[in-house]
Amino acid sequence: MSNYLLALRPFEFFFMQYKRVWRGTAITSVVTPIVYLLALGVGLGVFVDRSADLPDGISYLEFVAPGLMAATAMQLATFESSWPVLSAIKWDRQYHAMLATPLRVRDVLLGHQSFVAARLLVTSTVYLVVITAFGAVESPLGILAIPVAALVGLSFSAPIAAWAAHTQTEVSFVAIFRFVILPMFLFSGTFFPITSLPAPLELIAYLTPLWHGVTLCRELTLGEVELWSGLLHLGYLLAFTAVGLALARMTYRRRLVV
Q: Rounded to whole angstroms, how far apart are CA atoms 143 and 39?
A: 24
The amino acid sitting at 176 is I
Q: 253: helix, coil or strand?
A: helix
| H-helix or E-strand spanning residue 257 | none
Residue 19's pLDDT is what? Answer: 86
CA dihedral 206, 211, 212, 218 (to 10 degrees): -130
| H-helix or E-strand spanning residue 170 | none
Within 10 Å of residue 187's Cβ, how many Cβ atoms?
Answer: 20
pLDDT band at 146 (very low <50, low <70, confident <90, very high): very high
* pLDDT value at 70 more than 90: yes
CA distances from 182 to 38, 61, 94, 231 (A): 21, 21, 30, 27
Q: Rounded to whole angstroms, how far apart are CA atoms 181 and 74?
A: 8
Question: Whose CA is closest to 66, among 141, 122, 1?
Answer: 141
pTM of the model as a whole: 0.93
| Exposure class string for 100-126: b at 16+ Cβ within 10 A, else e | eeebbbbbbbbbbbbbbbebbbbbbbb
* pLDDT value at 225 more than 80: yes
The sign of the torsion formed by the CA atoms of 62, 127, 219, 203 equals positive
21 against 68, higher pLDDT: 68
pLDDT in tens, 74-123: 999 999 999 999 999 999 999 999 999 999 999 999 999 999 999 999 99
Q: Rounded to whole angstroms, how far apart are CA atoms 138 and 143?
A: 11
Across 53-62, 160-169, 228-237, least confident range: 53-62
CA dihedral 70, 152, 162, 80 (to 10 degrees): 40
Q: Rounded to whole angstroms, how far apart are CA atoms 41 and 59?
A: 9
What rounded mean pLDDT belongs to the chain? 90
Domain extents in the chain: 4-256
pLDDT in tens, 15-46: 999 888 877 777 766 677 777 777 776 666 55
